[in-house]
Structure 1
Amino acid sequence: MAQRNILQFIILGLVTDQPRTGYELTKAFDNDIGEFWSAQHSQIYPQLKTLEAKGWLTHTEEITGEKLNRKRYAATKSGKAALNDWLTAASEPVSGAKDEFVLKLYFIHDQTDARLKPMLTTQLIWHEQRRDHLRKQLATKFPNGADALDFGHFLILEHALHREEEYCQWLQAALAQLPGGMTN
């Protein structure tokens, strides 16, 4: 099955929420969207041109400083309709992710392999840091729990936090199964 261009819909969603510059879109991926989807500057700017050529985006020019012009993008009526169609369409369930670490584990057959403990420990540290970051994000953005005006964002952070907590538990259990357990 052909992979859909999800980035175009993320951009449409972001500029539908509020008109944004390319820089502001990049920052959105560094912050909130980056919790569950990534895109680089080199992907975002060409996509803006493509969406504008489709008639899904329009822009206004702003002057900042003495000479700098920047474009602020907003969704057009047809862009909002495309976003709505995408939001309404069924999403295929994700059955697996491209996790290089898990792939590497697949090729290690011996429980006593010296590479296992450092690999598992490194992953555990990374996932604990990620879990802690998500806890802070959830507490900062939603100090009173779910927010009816931004419920989707709340659910995403909650899901990401549960995923990281589960990953940490799995890694701790894996380390405990090594000869000598987690203390080795």
Structure 2
Amino acid sequence: MAQRNLLQFIILGLLHQTPLTGYELTKAFDSDIGEFWSAQHSQIYPQLQKLETAGSLTHTEEVTGEKLARKRYAITDTGLDTLNNWLAAPTPASTNGKDEFALKLYFIPDANDARLRPMLEAQQVEHTAKRTHLEHQLATKFPDGAPTVGLGHYLILQHAVSREHEYCDWLATALTHCR
């Protein structure tokens, strides 16, 4: 299955916060967004051009110094509709170490956002089911606890169960912030 182009939504989300230059967008991946998503300069600029061609963003030219011009990009109503549709859509499970849910959550502005509780609740259902499945696997495959043979498999399953427990606890805490 082809990977979804999530970079477009990241760019639209960042531009919804404030108009930015391409350089400033690139720098955002070195700071806040870089904690959970990465993109290269060579990916960002072509995506800006595609989004502008699609009418999702526009730019103004700024002159810095005597002759240097740079483009400052801003989201359009079309781009805002695209961003909002993506934020409201169901979130698939994370793949390749990239967590789309965390990415969407980053762009939710406050506790009053009507999308927040359903997003968190959907993730809670998904991760509770995953935790239950992993606990069943651990109990079925290793009913006597840590084995002598197959210890690596046991430890990985144990880690996955622990990770899902922690994630479910975090989601429960996050739900307390919803209004």
Give TM-score, length-normalised by structure 2.
0.54
* 1:29 alignment partner AA: F
Residue-by-residue CA offset, 1:103-126 (whole Å, 9 max, x unaligned): xxxxxxxxxxxxxxxxxxxxxxxx
Could you say if the C-alpha distance between residues 95 and 44 of structure 1 is closer, same or farther in structure 2, counting changes exceeding 3 Å? closer
Distance across 2 between alignment mates of 1:79 and 1:97:
27
Distance across 2 between alignment mates of 1:37 and 1:95:
12
Distance across 1 between alignment mates of 2:95 and 2:22:
32
Q: Which residue of 2 aligns with 1:46?
A: 46
3-state secondary structure, aligned to 1:59:
strand
Deviation at 1:94, TM superposition (A): 2.0
Distance across 2 between alignment mates of 1:94 and 1:148:
23
Distance across 1 between alignment mates of 2:62 and 2:34:
27
CA RMSD of aligned residues (A): 2.6
Deviation at 1:2, TM superposition (A): 2.5
Deviation at 1:97, TM superposition (A): 3.5
Written as runs of structure 1 = structure 2, the 5 A alignment for 1:16-165 is 16-94=16-94, 97=97
3-state secondary structure, aligned to 1:58:
strand
Distance across 1 between alignment mates of 2:40 and 2:81:
25
> Structure 2 stretches of 5 or more lacking a match?
99-108, 117-151, 156-179
Residue-by-residue CA offset, 1:8-54 (whole Å, 9 max, x unaligned): 00000000110000000001000000000000101000100000000
Identity of aligned residues (%): 65
**1:14 corresponds to 2:14:** yes
3-state secondary structure, aligned to 2:29:
helix
> Structure 1 stretches of 5 or more lacking a match?
99-146, 153-173, 178-184
Give TM-score, length-normalised by structure 1.
0.52
Residue-by-residue CA offset, 1:81-137 (whole Å, 9 max, x unaligned): 000011111111126639xxxxxxxxxxxxxxxxxxxxxxxxxxxxxxxxxxxxxxx
After the TM superposition, list the runs of 4 or more consecutive aligned residues in structure 1 that deviate by more than 3 angstroms: 95-98
